[in-house]
Structure 1
Amino acid sequence: MTITAPPALRVIRRDGSEAAFDASKISVAVTKAFLDVEGSSGASSSRLHPLVAGLTEQVVAALSRHPNPVIHIEQIQDQVELALMRGEHHKVARSYVLYREQHAQARGDADESTAPVVHVTRPDGTRAPLDRKRVETVLAEALDGIDDVEADPVLSELDRTVYDGITTDELAQALVMAARTLVEREPGYSLVASRLLLDRLRAEAVSHLTGTPETPDQATMAEQYPSYTKDYLRHAIAIGLVDPELATFDLDRVTAAIRPERDLQIGFLGLQTLNDRYFLHEHGVRFELPQAFFLRVAMGLAVREVDREARAIEFYELLSSFDFMASTPTLFNSGTTRPQLSSCFLTTVDDDLDSIFGGYRNNALLAKYSGGLGNDWTPVRGLGAHIRGTNGVSQGVVPFLKIAGDTAVAVNQGGKRKGAACAYLETWHVDIEEFLDLRKNTGDDRRRTHDMNTANWVPDEFLRRVEADATWTLFSPDEVPDLHDLYGNAFAARYAEYEAAAERGEIRVHRTVRAVDLWRRMLTMLFETGHPWITFKDPCNLRSPQQHAGVVHSSNLCTEITLNTNAGTDDGEVAVCNLGSVNLAAHVGRVGDGTALDADKLRRTVTTAVRMLDNVVDINFYTIPEARRSNLRHRPVGLGMMGFSDALFLQRIAPGSEAAVEFADQSAELLSFHAISASSGLAAERGRYASFGGSLWSRGILPIDSLQLLADARGPGELEIDRSSRLDWDGLRDTVRTQGMRNSNVLAIAPTATISNICGVGQSIEPIHLNLYVKSNMSGDFTVVNPHLVRDLKERGLWDKVMVSDLKYFDGSLAEIDRVPAELKELYATAFEIEPRWLVAAASRRQKWLDQAQSLNLYLAGPSGRKLDELYRLAWRSGLKTTYYLRTRAATSVEKSTLKGTDGRLTGVPSGGAVTSTAPSPAAAVPATPPPAPATGTAPTAGTELDLDPAAACSIDDPDCEACQ
């Protein structure tokens, strides 16, 4: 049997020369491997020949699929190894591996005896031989206490990259990269890489402060951390980066609380992110180390406390332990001379040029210091509306949105993270159809906003019209001005009056469409462009604690904030929210006879966290007066959660299960109870927020109670939500009613894209994306392996090179790997393998406890119009306030080449050409029984099936968006 490979295939030999590929050499090598194990008598030619031919054919087929026709000989041997393992010829594969290792060692010994001496170039330009012993000492320190990691693989990788004349900085980086390339083999190497990076950062920071080259090891640094921190603070104050007020703290007391060993617990992605984007620097030289960073943030948040030192230590403990993490703006700016600590800003743009261009200015000033923006554009008159001042005709809202999008791009927060804004428009606005097209890649580019997010602000009345297959009328807001401020039944009644007026000819600009047709376009655009997101106006307002003080006109950049806004110069309010997230995974441990959420620890964490967030309101640097006015009047904060998927894994709860829904309910209830209790406690200590009187809080109506207000406004069958509870809510109602609240709002679940990287846990409430992938962000590409899965596979003896290769081949999914047990496939099911109804069910349980909303991504493996229609109607009926991105599976495969040595990016490129992040494979979904569909109203209306183009799937520009946190 003759096996041929593509004629273009060539092989790189070990001496660097090239040769034509020869499949017969593979046959010879495989035959020798069988003969070595079975002997000539055991391996009969009648059996061996077809067996070897089949294995060789597999190897050649795999190599033929390689994107590069020039292949290294080691890659060929890797494929031979893999073929033997997949064929379950384990003894032969083991013999082949040993053969390779022996020959590699022999080559290494020969190379070592003839290798030239490598010199290292010092910062002053002098050269010295590479100090191998120093490298081995640093590496040994990095390996200490980490299971299943060794020095030899790291040193071997290092030897491949060093060269004569390498600089000291390049050498340190090469050592980090050597460990980093091994992460896919063993997740523990992420911690090794982090510690090696830490060694480099210590040298950089200490040398910068002392002015002399120093390379302190971890033990030395542990002793010097207090004195280093004092020196660092003095220097940062002297160069104008840190608030001089921090120098008035009792520095001996606060620096004595530093926990140097916590530096060693930060993963590589977390430490690299901190170094690249958070640590203070002078002319590009970082001189802030992790524990000094957390202490600086804590001191900045405690600066107005009575016992500043005690509170700073308390806040430091919470941050450095990763039990809780403040949002990115707080981490960026706390303790600095410009402490803009708030995460999100919501604005309303009025229908005049002063307001519109003032809105651009406000966006720029708010974005400058890391704020994420949500803009309500509904008041701006629509296309064709009359302009009284010029007796002309309006061009509508779209041209103004184009400028707003360009402003967000121009002000990119000093390069720390991308500027980002989201424009909201109500579904009755006459420009809504053009609004839906804003993110398309075709059409008039002057009417496109390629870099700005968009969201539909949908009233309940529109969904009722869709379900009834009725008509829907579009208006220009200058002719129906009060619709913007109405919601619930009042909106529905007034809207019907305007429709009647339009029929009588009393309204000039209006257009009637079939509601189902507009809904179809909304879902189609959401699928094709990822925008506009679908958010629900009525539940955001009917359940708002502050409905006595204004109207919620939009959400924010990430759809978790629901606060009042209004335009105006003297009394205008720009809503501000201060965010932070509890790490749920850090609160799961041994409770009684099992693993569960530690409610007492969670109470302590939440109490301190709410105090920290409340402090932000008073410390904050406000760039516009409308933000200051609003924040000091209402004092809203948004406590959320992250690490939800990790908490499930630790408790052995499959994400697509009733148990996961119950845990979502339990964890959100505890978070809500303790956050409300903490805010009420602060009210007793510091006073109620100014607009407390008349709020739902003042009437003893808590978030769980406000569900009835939504149910009353909706008709039968329009709200299907569980209302069960476990805690003493009656007692808390009495406390809140009599004692008051310090904050108008206390709960919001944000995406936590960046801060969860720092803490080393899964984002927010997200299901796991993939079990093995390469994450790309502003700090570079990072191999991410699910450590919980690796632990379980090791216990079963299944973690090996073949498993790594299979995970890459199947794009991080276990579904098609036969040797993985079914219970692990169910436990570690990825986002596209979970029936999306489970995600909505869990979100519904959380939403009942939240006074604001949650950033909820929805995943569809095989999207169709009917599935989209059912899913978003289910979200509405389940009482959700907002939804975030719709994620659909890309019609592509991902790079299957090894990550070793390159840490290459696993990305897919759809036929449209847009790069997507880690496109999932078409793996079969893990079997699970989804929650039953609601009994009433779930059948899609005739005609709602959409014509979805698979090539447009997963066209979201940044699935790992880190703009909000």
Structure 2
Amino acid sequence: MQTITSSAPADIRPPSAPAAASTAELAATAPGSIKVIRRNGKVTAFDQQKISLAINKAFLAVEGGASAASAAMRERLEQISAQVVQALTRHLNGGGTLHIEDIQDQVELALMRSGEHKVARAYVLYREERAKQRAAEAAKQPESAKPRLSVKRDDGSVVALDEARMQRLVSEACAGLSGVNVDEVLQAALRDLYDGIPEAELSQALTLAARARIEKEPNYTYVSARLLCDALRHEALKFLGLPESRPTFEEMKGLYPEYFRAYVHKAVSLELLDPKLALYDLDALGRALIAERDGKFDYLGLQTLYDRYFIHSNKTRFELPQAFFMRVAMGLAINEIDREAKAIEFYQLLSSFDFMSSTPTLFNSGTLRPQLSSCYLTTVPDDLHGIFGAIHDNALLSKFAGGLGNDWTPVRGMGGYIKGTNGKSNGVVPFLKVANDTAVAVNQGGKRKGAVCAYLETWHRDIEEFLELRKNTGDDRRRTHDMNTANWVPDLFMKRVVEDGQWTLFSPEETPDLHDLVGAAFEARYNEYEKLADQGRIKNFKRMPALQLWRKMLSMLFETGHPWITFKDPCNLRSPQQHVGVVHSSNLCTEITLNTKADQEIAVCNLGSVNLPAHIGADGKLDLAKLEKTVNTAMRMLDNVIEYNYYSVATARNSNLRHRPVGMGVMGFNDALYKLRLPYESDAAVAFADYSMEAVSYYAIKASTDLAAERGPYSSFKGSLWSQGVLPIDSIQLLAKERGNYLQQDVSESGTFDWSALRSRVQSVGMRNSNTMAIAPTATIANITGVSQSIEPTYQNLYVKSNLSGEFTVVNEYLVNDLKKLGLWDEVMAHDLKYFDGSVQKIDRVPAEIKAVYKCAFEIDPKRLVDAASRRQKWIDQAQSLNLYMAAPSGKKLDELYRHAWLSGLKTTYYLRTLGATHAEKTTISDNRLNKVGGASGGVTAKPAAPVEPIVMPAATDVGGAKVCSILDPDCEACQ
């Protein structure tokens, strides 16, 4: 058997995955800066051709020359070699080092996974024999003969490797964590060092040594983050020119105040921060920083902050975690009377992870252009000046990182009469193409793609073409591959579907008032228009069975992921602001329901989320006292955004100052269930969704009244549902009155809080904010705080997230801790979890109770997701970003699920996420392979067994089995 001279981390595609690129192809693309560390410490260039040569020799030694020389075997060997190279280089796009042992490990894995067990066994035995020989030779050598390593510092000087400091760093990183081993991390890191290693690579070796152990012990994610902090501290303090630029975790505690003052002044001088921040009492704020909270991050959270959020100059990050949170807090407190005290209060809330502001607020607070709002809603008028004015507004709002929801219903449909030219309209679709391309061109300050969602009411003449906008076939000039779309569905349409009635499509210039009508008024007027069409007084219309259109809506949702299904009437009938306008659409992520009016009001919403599991007490109950304190401070922060915010469009500013809407949401819902040991689809979990949202609702409304008492109510308060004593829980009756028997939502009050007293206070004192609650997706801020996103069920219990920062192993630490208590967590269990795609359901030795609590998203009955959302919706004045998961979709199941969502009183739904026939790559969700907001290419389709119209799904949205928005995709607004 020949020695293999090149291989790396154990993570390659299983044989069932698509064929890997050839070794020759990879040779052309692999980074030339990858180095291989040999066992004697010497460093050589990575030569992937040696892998092919070594594997060929391994086969020759076992199979003989004749067998290994066949054409089929040569192709087989090429595939195995390509898999090895791909696995090695996928992590090292920017260059890096590989140890010879890692390379051989990867060759061994590739042989086994390819079914070449005889060759793999011989290879393993050979490696063991050689290892024994090397150990015997090493034992004969005196200690003085072992090589001494040196480190090349940033300034070019060379110093001896400081193993004592490495020991101190790893010991500090492991402090207070169970299941981690200092020596194991240290020895793994030392193995990957070589003489003359640059300082940055030394730090990286420690971090990667810990990171490689995360799937076996989740606490290593915190070790990895703390070791990453060492590199961050050095980069920041060196840039600022501070004398001590290599402090350990403990040493940094005393240096944070000095660093913080230098950081603020430097950022101001570089015109990265508002000069007003330098006018704060920086010494007081520096002393308030809690350096220990740097240790709260997991690896994914800290790496995400470093890559995307920290202030930088020429790509050098000099903002450390606690300075980051204080910078955000200072911006939010800038107009407060006692701004230092409020900045410290806001900082303590953010850095504790009890609440987190949305991504635009984290990006821009304290900067020269503080655009802190998350989303904007607009209505597009029916004239060229207005249409392109709306697209111009889109560009300006997108430039400064706003997510957009556009209501396109007023624009006349195909064949509509144009009086000015005596011609006919081409409909709304060509303008949507322009809006799509604008979103691509104006890419949110270069940070991420522009993100926009177009809404169209179901009675619009162009609705059928609208449904097909995201298809990958047909005239590409009438496709919008980069833009989200959503149906704005009136209740009357759903009634016609249930009753198997007819449905008529109209062009809005002939039926202009339908756009602003809801409920019974809409139904009456719509019936009148149908009669006018029957009489020939309306020419441009089309009639079809409502069920036919409904089937097409579901088919396109399944095939392309769009348009999402949202419901016009509950959004309006339960809106506190129906006295001053109409909700014409939701936003990019379907949780915002605010009034818009063409050329007059662009709705704006400011978001943040409460970390639910952080408010579960040691007694296993929701800590109401802590929750009230969190919500009080958070509501003040959200309200402060409104004055402080930068508005690129005047109509957005006017609307926001007039109505002052904010959207407080929750995240970590599934983690809270883990703490309570409640299965997601249990009645108790649905009851907790009800109870926890009631608590948030009560405290949010109460906090807004407190702000109204201090600062005055919002200007359009008079005439609102609030002013009439109608709270969100009460407005269900308004919907029930309009719906009749078509509402199955539980409208009971839990009776936990004194709602009567709060109603009286709202009426007498007023509300500071027209809207107070909305549940956003929270994907990125949930990653920052290390909790499950939003109200989502856990995707898998073990998998790998891939993004531009690299690959991040994610393990459900709640599951691991429970398995540890039962003595069931070991390497075999970790491998079983990988084999079964993160599911415990098929692992026999896992108890039934554990299996029930730790079901993954596609193992949960999707109707239970709707049930929990329905119970939350009672208490929320806006809506929820509700993703629906379905493991084995069919036309019948989709029909039942979305009818259930409507009957349950939901205002909106978001992505439909489905599993296809293929298995997910073991432990891996790769970036750019899942169904993200950007376009996907077409491919092979598969028909479900369904009595309803065949619904097909392109392979591009089914790669790896999971049809979901790319996790942590920086181009995806939904992940912010």
TM range (shorter): 0.7 to 0.9
CA separation of 1:312 and 1:187: change in aligned 2, threshold 3 A: same
Q: What secondary structure does 1:700 align onto?
A: coil
Alpha-carbon deviations, 1:759-812, whole Å to 9, x = none? Answer: 000000000000011112343321111110111111112111111111111111
Bigger shift: residues 457-466 or 148-157: 148-157
Please identify, of 834-843 and 138-147, the stretch whose mean Cα deviation from structure 2 is larger: 138-147
Q: Secondary structure at the match of 1:754?
A: helix
Alignment partner of 1:437 is 2:463: no
* Distance (whole Å) between structure 1 residues aligned to residue 817 and residue 872 of structure 2: 30
1:83-132 residue CA offsets vs partner (Å, 9 max, x unmatched): xxxxxxxxxxxx99999998896688689997755443322333344333
Query: How far, CA to CA, are the matches of 1:683 and 1:697 in structure 2?
Result: 12
Q: Distance in 2 between matches of 1:654 and 1:107?
A: 56
| CA distance in 2: counterparts of 1:103 and 1:840, whole angstroms | 63
- The CA distance in 2 between the partners of 1:63 and 1:822, in whole Å, is 43
1:578 pairs with 2:606: yes
* Aligned partner of residue 711 in structure 1, secondary structure: helix
What does 1:501-516 correspond to in 2, within 5 Å? 501-516=532-547
Tell me the residue number matched to 2:973.
963
Superimposed CA distance per residue, residues 454-478 of structure 1 (whole angstroms, 9 cap, x where no aligned partner)? 0000000000010111110001111
Query: How far apart are residue 688 of structure 1 and its match?
Result: 0.5
Question: What is the match of residue 698 of structure 2?
Answer: 673
Are the aligned partners of 1:588 and 1:650 in contact in 2 as well (CA < 8 Å)?
yes
Q: Distance in 1 between matches of 2:795 and 2:80?
A: 25
Alignment of 1:813-824 (within 5 A): 813-824=839-850
Matched-pair contact (CA < 8 Å) for 1:634–1:743: yes
- Secondary structure of the corresponding residue to residue 288 of structure 2: coil
CA change 1:717–1:345 in 2 (3 A) is closer
Partner of 1:654: 679
Q: How many Å separate the matches in 2 of 1:909 and 1:108?
A: 49
Which residue number in structure 2 is paired with residue 695 of structure 1?
Answer: 720
Is structure 2 residue 154 aligned with structure 1 residue 123? Answer: yes
Q: Is the 8 A contact 2:151 2:158 kept in 1?
A: yes
Q: TM-score, normalised by structure 2?
A: 0.85
Corresponding position: 1:245 with 2:245: no
Distance 1:252 1:589 in 2: 34
Secondary structure of the structure 1 residue equivalent to 2:855: coil
State the secondary structure of the residue aligned to 2:618. strand
Distance 1:428 1:495 in 2: 9
Letter in structure 2 aligned against 1:433: E
Is residue 453 of structure 1 aligned with residue 475 of structure 2?
Answer: no
**Does the 8 A contact of 1:436 with 1:531 survive in 2?**
yes
CA distance in 2, matches of 1:481, 1:260: 59
Secondary structure (helix, strand or coil) at the match of 2:240 reads helix
Residue of structure 1 in register with 2:315 after alignment: 284
Q: Distance in 1 between matches of 2:172 and 2:912?
A: 45
In the aligned structure 2, how far is the partner of 1:482 from the partner of 1:646?
Answer: 46
Distance 1:179 1:12 in 2: 30
Aligned to 1:535: 566
**Does 2:835 align with 1:825?**
no
SS in 1 for 2:465: helix
Instruction: Note if contact 2:356-2:608 (Cα within 8 Å) is conserved in structure 1.
Output: yes
CA distance in 2, matches of 1:150, 1:14: 33
Give a deviation string over 1:580-630, Cα, whole Å, max 9, x none: 000001000123xxx111011101100111011001111111111000000
Shift of 1:958: 2.8
Question: Secondary structure of 1:210's match?
Answer: coil
Alignment of 1:764-783 (within 5 A): 764-783=790-809
Q: CA, structure 1 residues 114+204, in 2 after alignment: closer, same or farther (shift >3 Å)?
A: same
Aligned identity (percent) is: 60
- SS for the counterpart of 1:842 is helix
Per the TM alignment, residue 24 of structure 1 is displaced from its structure 2 partner at its CA by 11
Contact in 2 for aligned 1:892/1:908 (Cα 8 Å): no
1:188 counterpart letter in structure 2? N
Aligned residue for 2:633? Answer: 608
Give the unaligned 5+ runs of structure 2. 1-14, 24-47, 64-75, 86-102, 114-124, 938-945
1:649–1:80 CA distance, 2 compared to 1 (3 A): farther
Following the alignment from structure 1 to structure 2, what is the Cα–Cα distance between the partners of residues 521 and 790? 43
Distance 2:947 2:821 in 1: 52
Moved more, 363-372 or 96-105: 96-105
- Alignment equivalent of 1:385, drawn from 403, 411, 416: 416
Query: Could you tell me whether the CA contact under 8 Å between 2:930 and 2:963 is conserved in 1?
Result: no
For 1:601, the aligned partner's letter is K
The corresponding residue for 2:386 is: 355
User: Counterparts of 1:366-385 in structure 2 under 5 Å?
Assistant: 366-385=397-416
Say whether 1:859 aligns with 2:885: yes
- Confirm or deny: 8 A CA contact 1:205 1:287 kept in the other structure: yes
- 1:477 aligns with 508
User: Quick one: structure 1 residues 110 and 596, their matched pair in 2 at CA, closer, same or farther if it must change by over 3 Å?
Assistant: farther
Contact 1:707 1:848 in 2 (8 A): yes
When residues 770 and 642 of structure 1 are mapped into structure 2, their CA distance, relative to the original with a 3 A threshold, is same
- 1:196-236 Cα distance to aligned partner (Å, 9 max, x none): 11011101111111166721112221111111111111111
Contact 2:555/2:949 (8 A) holds in 1: no
Distance 1:227 1:711 in 2: 60
Aligned to 2:825: 799
Contact 1:894/1:908 (<8 A) preserved: no
Worse-superposed segment, 529-538 or 206-215 = 206-215
2:711 equivalent to 1:686: yes
The alpha-carbon deviation at position 356 of structure 1 amounts to 1.2
Q: Deviations over 1:462-509 (max 9, x none)?
A: 000101111100011111111110110100110111111111111121
CA offset digits 1:619-665 (Å, max 9, x no partner): 11111100000000000000000010110001111111001000000
User: What's 1:300 paired with?
Assistant: 331
- Deviation track 1:696-743 (CA, whole Å, cap 9, x = no partner) reads 000000000000000000122434334232221111111101111000
CA–CA distance in structure 1, aligned partners of residues 52 and 886 of structure 2: 49
**RMSD (Å) for aligned C-alpha atoms:** 3.3
Deviation at 1:363, TM superposition (A): 1.0
CA contact (8 A) 1:645 1:768 kept: yes
Alignment match, 1:744: 770
Q: Match for residue 666 of structure 2?
A: 641
Partners of 1:707 and 1:510 in 2: CA distance:
34
Superimposed CA distance per residue, residues 672-709 of structure 1 (whole angstroms, 9 cap, x where no aligned partner): 00000000111011001000000000000000000000
* Aligned residue in 2 for 1:723: 748
Letter in 1 for 2:653: R
Which secondary structure state, in structure 1, belongs to the residue aligned with residue 397 of structure 2?
A: helix
CA distance in 2, matches of 1:505, 1:376: 29
- Tell whether the 8 Å contact from 1:680 to 1:742 is kept in structure 2 after alignment: yes
1:194 maps to which of 225, 241, 258: 225
Give distance in 2, aligned partners of 1:814 and 1:561: 36
SS in 1 for 2:779: coil
Aligned to 1:838: 864
Give the conservation status (yes or no) of the 8 Å contact 1:697–1:736. Answer: yes
For the pair 1:209 / 2:235, whether they are aligned, the reply is no
Q: Could you say what secondary structure the match of 1:230 adopts? A: helix
One-letter amino acid of the counterpart of residue 870, structure 2: S
- Report if aligned partners of 2:673, 2:680 keep a CA contact under 8 Å in 1: yes
| 1:486 alignment partner, one of 503, 517, 523 | 517
Report deviation, 1:397: 0.7
SS at match of 1:507: coil
Distance change in 2, residues 1:117/1:447 (3 Å):
farther
TM-score if structure 1 supplies the norm length?
0.86
Separation in 2 of the partners of 1:321 and 1:603? Answer: 15
Contact 2:892–2:947 (8 Å) recurs in 1 = no
Q: How does 1:544-583 map to 2 (within 5 A)?
A: 544-568=575-599, 572-583=600-611
Alpha-carbon distance change, 259 to 63 in structure 1, aligned in 2, over 3 angstroms: farther
Give the partner amino acid of 1:290. Answer: P
Q: Which amino acid aligns with 2:729?
A: I
